[in-house]
Amino acid sequence: MNAGREAQLKFDKPLKKNYMQACGFIICYLALLTGIAACDPAKETPDPNNILTSGTAEIYLTPAEGNVNTFVKITGTGFGNNRKDVTVKFNNVPALVKEVADKTILTVVPVTATTGKVSVTINDYTVYSAGNFTVLTKNISAFTGTWVRKADFLGINRSGVSAFANATTGFVTLGGAGDFVYKDTWQYQPARDIWDVQSAFPGIPRFSAVSFTIDKKAYVVTGFAYFKPGKINDFWEFDTETFVWTKKADFPGTERKVAVAFTINNKGYVTTGYTDYFAPELKDMWEYDPVADKWQQKADIPFVSRKGAAGFSMGGKGYVGMGTHINNDGSEDGLNDFWEYEPATDKWARKADFPEYITLVSTSFVLDQSGYLINGDKECWQYNPAANKWTEKKPLPIKSGGLASFVIQNKAYVLEPYIGHLYQFEP
């Protein structure tokens, strides 16, 4: 029997009793039903907007197959608009519910899902997909890109570091582990595959700061420190040839961590991030001019605020996307929207969404006018701005959520600073 109609009563033949007997039977039957309904609060009049009672018998899936973390649209009726009331399962494995409307649900294929029916449950009513959802397996061997293990990082293991490079060497500084934060600065020389310690950061030790480079200078700003003496808005320049740190004009925006920063036409930009746990993320954007040593506020980002986003620049434009948004109830949503910034007009344009559900952008960088990001599941993705397209590349050999990266001579160097592994990537 169809799941959507199991609760319906059905009489297949007319009653064969005389008129009075039939009437008596019906009256008794109705009285019995009335008594049961009165005694059982759970049998109240069904909500006409609820699933099943509104007639939904099956749900339909678009697409009907995909990899884990693929977005799937479920079509039906009577879903309501509160995603907390909705449970979706892929072959009995609970799935994330991203969005709910009366006739559609946007969900994500769970990491442990297997091929089978998809179910939707609302207030103890359950319906099933007309057919199976087929969970596909990625053919990683077909992905391009080469990863090579290099010399391990020699500093204390940590996360939340800042990384940058000049034409020949890379640098890693700051970061933290547990209740400790660090200010040492390390230089990596790819020609010799060695690490050397350089001048320590002179400001407040911190982690989850951001950095950008202009010519041979690197700039470090924002971040978080335990037991900080007031607001962290100090801003520092590092000469990558002399290894000298110089204090510059303080950052005038709200203090923040896990923001994004990038460089366009010899000016630095800082945006997104958040101030503290359970605090809303920030939407302001700031431009730094190193010649004038001044900050100027630009237009706020027009999209959802976020933390831990991807941010990079190429071709005279900036790119920001993905990351995590904190909801009013304290829950968090992974985002997959992606935006392009035009500095000449101070405007943003939406570009191709990231094709999978993502909660963590571990690091991002640019090689040969293409953007790259690595997520918390070690997947590596390339964004081609000319084609406005995302393509998956060979994954990073290790899984980590706290990566840092820098680029030297069109090769990316990705550091897992918590265990010290360094990998070189060529697309």
Q: What is the pTM of this model?
A: 0.84
For the beta carbon of residue 109, count every other beta carbon within 10 angstroms: 25
pLDDT in tens, 331-352: 888 999 999 999 999 999 999 9
pLDDT in tens, 169-225: 999 999 999 889 999 999 999 999 999 999 999 999 999 999 999 999 999 999 998
Q: What pLDDT was estimated at residue 171?
A: 99
| Pair 151, 296 in one domain | yes
CATH classification at residue 64: 2.60.40.10
Do 266 and 198 sit in the same domain of this protein? Answer: yes
Residue 57: the pLDDT is: 67
CATH number reported for the structural domain that contains residue 217 in this entry? 2.120.10.80
Q: What angle do CA 243, 245, 250 make, to 5 degrees?
A: 155
DSSP lists the bridge partners of residue 128 as 58, 119
Q: Are 61 and 118 in contact (CB under 8 A)?
A: yes
Say whether both 112 and 174 belong to one domain.
no
Element (H, E) at 296: strand 294-298
What is the C-alpha separation between 89 and 74, in angstroms, rounded?
12
For residues 339 and 235, membership in a common domain is answered with yes
Domain of residue 91 covers 58-135
Tell me which residues of the chain have a pLDDT lower than 70.
1-57, 229-230
Q: What is the C-alpha to C-alpha distance for residues 25 and 1, in angstroms, rounded to an integer?
A: 27
Based on the fold, state whether residues 365 and 342 are members of the same structural domain: yes
